[in-house]
Amino acid sequence: MTFRKYLVLAGVTFFASAGDAMLSHGMKQIGSISIHHLPSVIFAVINPWVAGGILLLLAFFATYTTALSWADLTYVLPATSLGYVLLALVARFVLHEHVSPLRWLGIALITGGVGFVAGGPEITTHHKSQSLHTAHGAPMAAPATRGQP
């Protein structure tokens, strides 16, 4: 895997964690809102912390789709779950939330699972006959060879 691909996966992890943390901080400032009370939703979105969180989550989506363009979902999703570790650290030390020992154990298990996934291939290789299909599932014509009908 190239440095650029590692950078994309790091971006996915960072943007998701930072965006979620900013949303959490902003929503704690605002308090309870209801979808049935539209002004409270609009007020929430214009909060700088919530707006920043939304922008970071848009960056997450952009890097996530980039990663999915070159790797399998079964590789990208576990690799990006390292964000749970980062998010737990941010929640504990920045947002001052309580993270129970059971949650830390779960985070450790996630980290171990990511280690298993990282050892495998990033993309499934397909046989040549499978690669003759378009994105819509319709078969493509086999390439013609010179001198054969």
pLDDT in tens, 116-136: 776 767 777 765 545 445 455
Burial (0-12, 13-18, 19+ Cβ within 10 Å), 105: exposed
pLDDT greater than 90 at residue 22: yes
Q: Minimum mean pLDDT among 37-46, 77-86, 91-100: which range?
A: 77-86
Single-letter code of the amino acid located at 76: V
Per-residue pLDDT for 97 more than 50? yes
Does the pLDDT value for residue 15 go beyond 90? yes
% of residues, the chain, pLDDT over 70? 82
pLDDT value of position 79 = 75
Residue 49 pLDDT level (bands cut at 50, 70, 90): very high
Sole residue written with tokens 């997450």: 60
